[in-house]
Structure 1
Amino acid sequence: MNTSADAPAAIPPELQCYAALDKRLLAAVRGINILSTVSWPASLEDRMIEEYGRGQYALPEVSYKVPDFSDVRKELQAIEAEASDGDPLGEYLRRTAESWRIAAEMLEAVGTEGVTAPSIQLYGRPGDSIPGSDRSNLDAAKYFVELSDELGADLQDDDITANIPSDVLRADLSTALDSFFGAGVISVEVDNDLTAKAAAGATRIRLRGGMRFSQYDRYQLLNHEAYVHSLTALNGRAQPLLASLARTSPRVTATQEGLAVFAELMSGAIDIARLKRISLRILAIDMALNGADFVEVYRFFNRCGQSVGDSFHSAQRVFRGVPLTGGSAFAKDNVYLSGLLDVHTFFRWALKERRMDLLRYLFAGKLTLQDVMNLEPHFLSGALVAPRWLPPWMQHVHGLAGKLAFSLFINRIRMSKVEAETLSAGV
């Protein structure tokens, strides 16, 4: 289902300079593909998983093709300089170009410890503090892992089985997406070389071949990949002024992934095991930064209950593009939990301030939370257009407001002051 939106007006003459810079930006970064540059060959993973299953724990030998982005970095620096004029559009372009430049520097260091610092600059580190709290992302990760472990015995009776073949899920998702976006707008494909369970672009969602998925996986893929990643890309493509809003720049990764996990939360598509998986990756990044090598991180995941294959894939995510001997890490997986916490806080703030309009703008393209507020004048003027599509849970504003209003009030209750006796006391 889509929301109604007026046809976009022509770009005003005074904004043409930003549209021109945006075109230059997109042309410059066309060849920057972060995940494909740091990914491992599927054949290597398959062979190593088999060896690890037999207890043969040698460090994988991974080689990377090192790109040369020297000309790209010069162009991005020029865009940064030209965009620095104080207008919110210029600030958006400057920050976006800067993040792509940092990503280019990171990829030129692929295979070395030089990847670590720029990846932390882009995605944060586990010890970063949570806005509005004296706790860190690492504290939150430990909390969810401990809670999941404590509830483990009670959760074993849940009937969660991975029995849906990738081909069956592909057909099922295709039907659902044709109904929501229109026939053929988004295709669903099975990709035997995909490392992750799934990956989403504007018009294509890929599923890892040979996988079996659960109903939870189905709900997560719809709400995370389709109704956030693909949806914001499609809405971004409809922007006449900033075409770059259709592409996930490094600086928006935390908001995009946080919004996608928040969508799982609001739609009831997330479970405690999913929160544990996200949190374990943050603990693993912290381990790697503090000296743990690939085998040690693999064994950590395996001890925490993941299968041999899942443990290997989880460790691989931490060591993409960096040496496997410890002290280095690829920090992208830090954003899933930190982004979720930031997005959840933003939604609660917007409700408190009666600014539901800002929440809708968040789906108009690939934006950070700060972008949404900074660019509000250009949404109001029509230079940036409202989103055509909104996720199903965002279309029912009263239900969303009810959930957020409850969480706003309930957070005032201090659990440290709650005793079992007070809960069971009669009138």
Structure 2
Amino acid sequence: MNSHVGLDDYQLIVRALSDRIVEAQTPIRVLDAVKWDESVRSEFLKHKGKMLPKVDRAYYDSRPLAFDATAKKLEFQNIERDITRQLGQFNPVGQIMRRMCREYRMVIRMLEARGTEDFGLISQDLYGAASDAFHAGDPTLADLGVMFSGFLNNIDSRGDLKDEVKNLNAKAAVDLLQHRLNKVFGEHEDTIRVFESDGILADAAAGADYIKIRTDAMFNERDVKALEVHEGLVHVATTLNGQNQPICTFLAKGPPSSTVTQEGLAILMEVISFASYPTRLRKLTNRTRAIHMAEEGADFLQVFEFYREQGFSLEESYSNANRAFRGSTPTGLPFTKDLSYLKGFIMIYNYIQLAVRKGKLEQIPLLFCGKTTLEDMRTLRQLVDEGLVVPPKYLPPQFSDLNSLSAWMCFSNFLNNLSLDRIEADYANIL
């Protein structure tokens, strides 16, 4: 962490409050608290996916949280009260920090409600629901999932866009990824370690200054490129940028509202660096559809079958269905965190488009100055001007030179105003 040297009284107050938030949230590990253990998986596979997993309220009670929930909520309540006392009701940085305190209290309430109806309801408050609209009259996330599936099926039925063979084992992927990240982050000051791990659900996961690759996963070159931009240039870079903040240290830690920004940026980076591909997109679409099914009353077996019908193995279908029900019960409302990918992508894309339209390009790189939340962006701009927040040290090339991104968004703004249905009719005889 950075030293306090050279900070004035006001900055020291903000820094002290910020550090208290960082300290208080340390033991809250959402994914650890909601995950199902290996015994649930092996039992389910033993019955060949014919029996609902035995996960209920008692199951979670047998796996207590790593902290005292009541004391933790009180701690955040006290920090929030001190923010108001020391900075006043309308101080901009104080408003961001107070919102974080409220959000962390809500996270704790969600974790206390594991295995009950409330768990899924609070999850919707924190991460959204598949049936949420972006704007009145616009398609919902669930509609988007179905629409994407249609496009992807059209692409699939051609049969010639096969994925490249996954010919890199974890060790080869680790070496290649490490080599690429060293080029971006330098090999010395903020080295990012890439290593194998067998304890993770996904193919890869990012920590503060490391990326773990699952030991038994296989990759191809395109996967490694996607990991480089998604885990490296977004998740790890924003953590390091947050850790480089001399005053607003809370930017190194992300509450759920920043998950949407984080995953949105990560997917946007995959798309604009041409690292995404249909199979990867289908993964995100499937996650959205699985959550929507569960919101509409589908149970674990029905979501599991949804994956089986697409040709996934027993194990893969279990893992995929598990993502939607962790923290909940096999017949309960879903854990909606996985909506953040598509939801975040759309919100970030729209944000960048509007920033270009309004000539506010300087706002765009600030998305990377830590674990940011879209609704705070205007305030962050102010905080940079005031010297409370430093601009991001690590930026993907697409964001450090906004020329090409701006040009693309100018076209995009115009193209959005054209009616694709009319064009389709006009192009009928040339397509």
Match of 1:3 in 2: none
Determine the structure 1 residue equivalent to 2:391: 386
Counterpart AA for 2:78: A
- Alpha-carbon RMSD: 2.1
Q: How many correspondences in the alignment?
A: 415
Q: Which whole-Å deviations, capped at 9, do the CAs of 1:162-195 have from their partners, x for residues lacking one?
A: 2211111011111111121122510011111101
The match for 2:124 is 120
Report which stretch shifted further, 269-278 or 141-150: 269-278
SS of 2:211's equivalent in the other structure is strand
Matches within 5 A, 1:43-122: 44-45=40-41, 47=42, 50-51=45-46, 55-62=48-55, 63-64=59-60, 65-67=63-65, 68-84=68-84, 85-122=89-126
The answer (yes or no) to whether the contact 1:42–1:194 under 8 Å persists in 2 is no
Aligned residue type for 2:79: I
Give the match's secondary structure for 1:32.
Answer: coil
Give the secondary structure class of the aligned counterpart of 1:160: coil
2:237 pairs with 1:236:
no
Q: Is the contact between residue 163 and residue 279 of structure 2 (CA under 8 Å) also seen in structure 1?
A: no
Q: Deviations over 1:128-162 (max 9, x none)?
A: 11147622111111111111112212254434222
Secondary structure at 2:332's aligned position in 1? coil
1:417 has 2:413 as partner: no
**CA shift digits 1:315-355 (9 cap, x unpaired):** 0000111111x232111011111111000000101111111
1:25 aligns with 2:21: yes
How big is the shift at 1:424?
Answer: 5.2
Contact 2:116–2:332 (CA under 8 A) maintained in structure 1: no
The structure-2 alpha-carbon separation of the partners of 1:160 and 1:309, relative to structure 1 and needing over 3 Å to count, comes to: farther
SS at match of 1:362: helix
Offset of residue 103 of structure 1: 0.6
Partner Cα separation in structure 2 for residue 92 and residue 106 of structure 1: 21
Deviation of 1:365 (Å) = 0.5
| % identical equivalent positions | 31
Unpaired segments of 5 or more residues in structure 1?
1-6
- Distance in 2 (CA, whole Å) between partners of 1:219 and 1:8 is 38
What is the 5 A alignment of 1:169-208? 169-183=173-187, 185-208=191-214
> Which among 403, 411, 423 is matched to residue 408 of structure 2?
403
Segment of structure 1 superposing worse, 170-179 or 106-115: 106-115
Residue of structure 2 in register with 1:327 after alignment: 332
Residues 164 and 212, structure 1, Cα contact 8 Å, conserved in 2: yes
Superposed counterparts of 1:145-184, under 5 Å:
145-183=149-187
For residues 44 and 163 of structure 1, the distance between their equivalents in structure 2, rounded to whole angstroms, comes to 31
Q: Which of residues 348, 351, 369 in structure 1 aligns to 2:374? A: 369
Partners of 1:100 and 1:144 in 2: CA distance: 33
Which deviations, in whole Å up to 9, do the C-alpha atoms of 1:224-259 show, x marking residues without a partner? 111000000000000011111111212211111111
Deviations 1:111-130 (A, max 9, x none): 33331111111100001111
Q: For the structure 1 residues 9 and 127, does the alpha-carbon distance in structure 2 shift closer, same or farther, using more than 3 Å as the test?
A: farther
TM-score normalised according to structure 1 size: 0.92
Amino acid at match of 1:22: S
3-state DSSP class of the match of 2:171?
helix
CA distance in 1 between partners of 2:212 and 2:39 (Å): 18
Does 2:356 align with 1:351? yes
How far 1:202 sits from its partner (Å)? 2.1
